[in-house]
Chains A and B, each alone.
Chain A
Amino acid sequence: MDSLTSVILTPVFTAVLLLLIPGNFRVVLRLAAILGSACTAWTAVSFFSRFHAGQEGLQFESLVPWVTVGPLNLAYHVGADGLNIGLILVTGLVGFAAVLVSWNIERHVKLFYVLLMSMIAGAMGAFASLDLFFFYFFNELALVPTFIMIGVWGRGEDRNWAAFKITLYLTLGALTALVGLVAFYVAAGANSLDVIVLKAHLAAHPLSVSAQTWIFPLVVFGFATLVGLFPFHSWAPVGYAAAPTATAMMHAGILKKAGLYAILRMAVPLMPDGAHRWLPVVAVLAVGNLLHCAWVALRQKDMNLLIGNSSLAHMGFAFLGIASLTVIGVTGTVLVMVAHALLAGLSFALSGYLETQTGTLDMTRMGGLLRKMPFYGTALVMGFMASCGLPGFANFAGEATVLFGSWKSLPWLVIIAAWSGLIIGAVAMLRALRAVLQGPEKPEFSRVADLGYWRRLPFVLLLSAMVLFGVAPGILTSRIEPAAKAVVAAHLTPSQAGQAPAVPAAHAAPAASAPGHSGH
């Protein structure tokens, strides 16, 4: 079966298999979960490697009509192009790593792995979907698992509050986007939420400017809430700080990207006039992420809050790339999404391991751990350096591409982004490294132990992917570029987007002059 369906069904079948195993067979449950997620990761890797780079259009496609009653027409449509193939790959990798680092889960093992598998399935489905209804459907599959996982296996006194906060925020964002999607369905009149069908339909019958102007913000701010766009971001750090390691890895690494993916997949290409009106606002808010969240990260003592806030700051780059509306900027955004998925997964895995050893994440109480844990320390240095934007890691490739892409249309924002992302972010990360790894050894942490050989696998996996995409970002960019061109194609001639959908992408998109175009 050469369709992306297999990569969604593998974790689903694993979850069903886990349900059939009795709850007290812990070792069997763990092995089954590891095997299932390894199969998922392997399937994702194989799709990624078989993906024909530089080719336009969809690959591994499959289309099944799902609900067709009267004017209601929804289809299960999956397929890969440059926007999602990288995300599918990292979902497989981070999902596998999340299962591997969950060896310390002792209570309700079965429930834990079933929920984790449904999160992986939901994320895979969301990224593979080309029908927006199914995107929403799969994305919401992760909501209840997140809530239960934070509550049952979460950390800290505040986890109850954090579980509710993350759930309510995500639901409000998702529902806002859903209302936008339904309004879009009605307004577009294509009787479909399939982006491919919509694209063809809207090319012939463009959506009125006024409809785009009010539907676009519903969709984009709804989905941006799921990503943590400033000022809708406050759920993220507390949620991740309270979540068990695997949940934080999956959520911060993978599920957060789903909102960005939807914006790139649907909002920007299908509502060009709305994008021109509203993306400048998004760009300004992205600076809020870059400055505010980076600054907040600087002040954190808890390692999870530091990672959570710094990961929000990185999302600022992703939004900036989208707002630039250039091929390079959008390519950079997808790169950032892929790179950050690996980075966030790695960072939360690292902090999770540290907590199992020290019993705390308060960085002011630590010190000198590099001597006790050389492998762990090395991984932490590499991860945090990648977060600073050190060349050689995928994050640098992504962020630099975003900055190049945005320079022409948003020069001031690029200056702020470079300054904050690369300076404030670096200060925060370096201070954390110093506090944790260097300085005198603390007697209370004399019993900490480094990772055993097998436990190193998830860290090695994520780090090597980061380095691979860092030194050879062409593996990704060659795949992303055709899709990025398609995303911004409609923006080159905003008022005649319908007449000329296949304009060859130029680098200079007139985002600054756009409001004038969309005014009539």
Chain B
Amino acid sequence: MNYSLITLEVLAVLMGLIVLLADLWVSPTARKALGLGLAAALGCLLAFAVGSLAPQSGSAFADMFVVDDLARYFKGFFLFAALAVVLMAVDYAPKFGAGLSEFFALTVFALVGMLFAASANDLVLLFVSLELITVTFFVLNSFQRTQLASLEAGVKYLILGGVSSAFMVFGIALIFGTANSTNLAVLAAKQKELAHSALFLIGLLFVLVGLGFKIAAVPFQMWAPDVYQGSPAPATAFLAVGSKAAGFVLLIRLLVGAVPQITAEWHRLFVVMSGATILFGSLCAIPQRNLKRLMGYSSIANAGYLLLGIVAGSAAGSTAMLYYLGGYTLTVLTAFTVISAIANHVESEDTSALSGLGQRSPFLAACLTMAIVSLAGIPPMAGFFGKLLLFKSVLDVAPGHPELYALIAVAVVGVVISLYYYFSVIRAIYWGGQSANLSIIPVALSTRIVLVACVAGMLVLGIFPQGLVKIADHAVAGLSHTVAPAKAAH
């Protein structure tokens, strides 16, 4: 067996353990330096993961764990996200009180869960990696122990996460019972006969409940706004980027890779789910004033847009999802890095607290504006091209399926609505109200580097999307796509 395939994961676990141990000897004042060291180590790991020394494609552990282009694609973004989150936490440290090193370590452990999720080719590994992510987030979300909202966020995530995990285990049990295997490749081979088994379909549905919770899609989105609002900003960022992307990579592996025929037959379900998620997220975001809560609803709406790729069911749809997730990662990291950087200088997390940001720090203001523009899907940022690819993938398969045209109409309405609440943030930055405090907000060098990297990434992806689209296209080439609605029509 080729153990070298899990080099990345092993190295990441070691990093987490080293941070935990180092905490015993590092003085409290030097803990920020520990974070910077960890970020540097993650940067090396990222370079290793995207470089030519990275593990070659293959599978290990009885085909449970695969390394392919799809896994590599996501691992790169997970590592980058973890790096950015660690640096964010360094900025956010004064708000944590004690336990900064534990926050770093838990972030790395959640990262390990995501890395495994990207490679999961078996429902068991899928479950275990998701649990690793979920359990670490119980702690990360409630890390500000003195804050009631943070504790509430942790408890909510714990209870709803527990319920969704229960569904998932039950579903996996049913699938194992009917298919005699939990391996996705085996399921793919047997999907024709399994499609007639009601028990298998129920099992699959239950697994989807679990994944729907991860990606915060309607009707499993209830937790997102509260948890996003209550959690410390770096934890929210990681939740929004890493946890969601992990949910989507598993969704792609399961629905597009393993059981594309059943996905095609269920495509009405995904149409409804996607449309409802877009509308719920967009409409509920309108009255929000808390910035993190707004991002929570925005993340729901974005899950809806991403589901368009599943609805399309084609290679173009999966490519679009991958590209969109890439751009979304950079965008959300930019937004939360700014939120973390100003957390110590503004009194509240309301959008009104942003007033005067245009004067207090033109740099942060510009970064946040660009992130918002990207989220709203306006050129020249990455978000625009991602939405274009998603819309196109659905319109590709739409002829003859009026419900898909309706879905596109809903998505367009969603984008217009989202513009209203996104641009309210821009208004708050540049001309919303009068801020009494116009002192300059200092920005640490590490934060500056992350922001410049993210904004440059958003711009490059938006103006020269060719590179990433090509990589995403390669990454999904191994999946067995069927053009969903065309199949369903037969």
Contacts and interface: CB of A to CB of B under 8 A. Distances in A.
Interface of A: 23, 66-72, 108, 111, 133, 136-138, 140-141, 143-144, 147-148, 151-152, 160, 163-164, 167-168, 171-172, 175-176, 178-179, 182-183, 185-187
Contacts of B483: none
B63 interface: no
Contacts of B96: none
Contacts of B391: 178-179, 182
Contacts of A144: 369, 373, 378, 426
B469 interface: yes
Contact of B426 (A66, A70, A148): A148
| B contacts with A: majority SS | helix
Interface stretch (B111-119, B132-140, B408-416): B408-416
Contact of B392 (A141, A143, A176, A186): A186
Contacts of A160: 427, 431
A141 B465 contact: no
A330 to B, nearest CB: 29
B408 A69 contact: no
6 contacts: A70-B315, A70-B473, A140-B379, A144-B378, A171-B416, A175-B412
A167 B379 contact: no
A23 B365 CA distance: 14
A72 B384 contact: no
A182 B388 contact: yes
B466 interface: yes
A171 B419 contact: yes
Given A151-B431, A160-B427, A179-B408, A72 B392 contact: yes
Contact of B419 (A69, A148, A167, A183): A167
B466 A68 contact: yes
B420 A23 contact: no
Given A141-B380, A185-B392, 11 more contacts: A66-B466, A67-B466, A69-B319, A69-B470, A144-B378, A147-B423, A160-B431, A168-B420, A171-B419, A182-B395, A186-B395
Given A69-B466, A108-B358, A178-B388, A151 B378 contact: no
A164 B420 contact: yes
Interface in B348-396: 358, 362, 369, 373, 378-380, 384, 388-389, 391-392, 395-396
B412 to A, nearest CB: 5
Nearest to B385: A67
Nearest to A163: B427
A148 B430 contact: yes
B392 A151 contact: no
A127 B84 CA distance: 40
Contact of A172 (B379, B389, B416, B469): B416
Contacts of A179: 391, 395, 408, 412
B84 to A, nearest CB: 24
In this complex, the interface size class of chain B, counting residues with CB under 8 Å from chain A, is 35 or more
Interface centre among B389, B398, B416, B469 (most CB of A within 10 A): B416
Interface of B: 315-316, 319, 358, 362, 369, 373, 378-380, 384, 388-389, 391-392, 395-396, 398-399, 408, 412, 415-416, 419-420, 423, 426-427, 430-431, 464-466, 469-470, 473
B391 to A, nearest CB: 6
A114 to B, nearest CB: 10
B380 A137 contact: yes
Contacts of A137: 379-380, 384
B323 to A, nearest CB: 10
A175 B379 contact: no
A296 to B, nearest CB: 25
A176 B409 CA distance: 9
A440 to B, nearest CB: 39
Contact of B379 (A67, A111, A141): A141
Closest 8 CB pairs of A and B: A137-B379, A151-B431, A140-B379, A69-B469, A175-B412, A67-B466, A182-B392, A172-B416
B139 to A, nearest CB: 39
Contacts of A67: 465-466, 469
Contacts of B415: 171, 175
B155 to A, nearest CB: 38
Nearest to A149: B430
Nearest to B472: A69
A175 B411 CA distance: 10
Contacts of B420: 164, 168
B378 A72 contact: no
Contacts of B384: 137, 140
Contacts of B380: 137, 141
A347 B426 CA distance: 30
Contacts of B470: 69
Contacts of A168: 416, 419-420
B476 to A, nearest CB: 10
